[in-house]
Structure 1
Amino acid sequence: MARMIFVNLPVEDVARATAFYQAVGFARNEQFSNAQGSAMQWSDTIHVMLLARDLYATFTTKKIIDPRTESGALLALSFDDRAAVDAITEAALAAGGRELHEPEDHGFMYSRAFEDPDGNGWGPFTMDVAAHAAAMAAQPA
């Protein structure tokens, strides 16, 4: 079995969060979804579980943060090119997300950042690994 990651996110409104994630390209896996949570699939190995806050609370004894005012994680997704980075960010904004800062272009890497309606932060990016290695090699030791 391939190694997979399941990111669990507490959300205020499962239906609203599901619609947002579908708008940016995630697919809802009906087999593992119900009114209390949506299993959202990004790829064969990357999944995001959108859990109602009361359900999420059953998995931890810790205080659940408000991601609008506190940072618990920054989640990044890689893309093949700038157009794809821009496309997911624009889809997020159109679906009710918020852009966190201006696009960043470092030559070898281009990134954007947005929050979902619950305040969870995502950083789509594209990177030319060979260009980064060449830039690092050109720097004095």
Structure 2
Amino acid sequence: MAIQAEQTFINMSVKNLDKSRTFFEQIGFEFNENFSDNNAACMIINSQTFVMLLGEEFFQTFTKKSVADSTKMTEVIIALSADSREAVDELVNKAFAAGASPSGDQMDHGFMYGWSFQDLDGHLWEVAYMEEPELPLE
């Protein structure tokens, strides 16, 4: 039997919760206030996927391991799909305007287009659009 989670919560350490929340609001994300407080902010990716922005000290209470410095190491790359090439560019350009840094060059493979950025804490985000394959006519 395959495991299927009802919802996905990605927990992410941030140095300054207020600045991180403002950054993601500026690029268009909303937050669930029922799961947000002075230690955490619940960012909505879609109805079943959330990113928990956790202040670094609060994040540390969930693990006995050291918290990675995401400005020097990559612990994860979060990839988001977009519904068009223009939507990819719009989101990444909003991120840059809000203070993000480039992560990689735009990639264009014809059927797939993407671009990436680093958020204020150095976490890597990729945004991609992939054309749906045409189904053969029957």
Same fold (TM over 0.5): yes
Residue of structure 1 aligned with 2:104, choices 93, 101, 104: 101
Identify unmatched segments of 5+ residues in structure 1: 134-141
RMSD of aligned alpha carbons:
1.6
Please tell me whether residue 45 in structure 1 is matched to residue 56 in structure 2. no
Q: TM-score, normalising length from structure 2?
A: 0.90
Q: TM-score, normalising length from structure 1?
A: 0.89
- Conservation of the 8 A alpha-carbon contact between 1:9 and 1:48: yes
Query: Percent of counterpart pairs with the same letter?
Result: 34
Q: Distance in 2 between matches of 1:35 and 1:89?
A: 27
3-state SS in 2 of match to 1:89 = helix
Give the alignment of 1:101-140 within 5 angstroms: 101-130=104-133
**TM-superposed deviation, 1:101:** 1.8
Deviates more, 1:122-131 or 1:8-17: 122-131
Q: Distance in 1 between matches of 2:96 and 2:24?
A: 11
Runs of 4+ in 1 over 6 A off after TM superposition: none
Please tell me whether residue 12 in structure 1 is matched to residue 15 in structure 2. yes
> Residues 29-83 of structure 1, C-alpha deviation per residue, up to 9 Å, x if partnerless?
1111111111111210111100000100111111110111101000100011000
Q: Write 1 or 2 for the structure with the bigger share of helix.
A: 1
Please tell me whether residue 3 in structure 1 is matched to residue 9 in structure 2. no
> Residues 82-139 of structure 1, C-alpha deviation per residue, up to 9 Å, x if partnerless?
00000100010011101112210001100000011000100000001416x9xxxxxx
Q: Distance in 2 between matches of 1:3 and 1:79?
A: 22
- Conservation of the 8 A alpha-carbon contact between 1:98 and 1:116: yes
